Amino acid sequence: MGNNKSPLDEARGIALTLLDRLDRIAELTERQLIQDQNIYVTKVLNTLTDTAAQDTVKPPPGVMWLVRRIAVTSALNGGCALYLNEAQPQNLIDGSFTNAAMDAWAPSDGGLYIPDGNVLVIRFFNQPNNQVCTINLRITEIAISE
């Protein structure tokens, strides 16, 4: 016996097959465009005479960072503040403000986003002269392709 499918059923079957293939292509393309990679960035800073130490870290071109965990060490009763692009009050995004002698935390809302082309400013304050301050950032790198 032959195939008794109507032309409409055949067209529907072909359309469903094409949609399934397009969904698969979209999934593969998305995986290629966004690739997550966990990295650690460690900075060691040394205060000089102004009781503060500051440095910056920046995602490489074409990459956005999601900072998922922050760990710091510094002087007792000192603090650490994190800013986006510039150490100004309006740019403050996180920190340990009362005792950063030894502290670790996960930023709220799933992490801190540092977009491509921006810098994360790390500033330790209320530190004695010659204090060694450290920060360790656990970062998910998200590669963004055009």
Report the CATH number at residue 111.
2.60.120.730
9 belongs to a structural domain: no
DSSP letter (8 states) at residue 61: T
- Distance between CA atoms of residues 121 and 63, nearest Å: 17
pTM over 0.85: no
CA torsion, ordered 42, 95, 114, 84, to nearest 10 deg: -110
129 belongs to a structural domain: yes
Cβ atoms of residues 59 and 39 within 8 Å: no
Q: How confident is the model at residue 22 (pLDDT cuts 50, 70, 90)?
A: confident
- pLDDT value at residue 129: 83
23 belongs to a structural domain: no
18 belongs to a structural domain: no
Residue type, 3: N
- pLDDT value at residue 146: 52
28 belongs to a structural domain: no
Q: Is the pLDDT at 51 greater than 90, yes or no?
A: no
**Residue of 95 and 4 predicted with greater confidence:** 95
Total domains present in the chain: 1
5 belongs to a structural domain: no
- Distance between CA atoms of residues 82 and 139, nearest Å: 14
- Distance between CA atoms of residues 12 and 10, nearest Å: 5
pLDDT mean over 85-108: 92
- pLDDT value at residue 89: 94
79 belongs to a structural domain: yes
24 belongs to a structural domain: no
- pLDDT value at residue 4: 75
Place of tokens 């082309």: 117
Residue-wise pLDDT tens digits, 69-91: 999 998 888 899 999 999 999 99
User: 118 is in which domain, residue-wise?
Assistant: 35-144
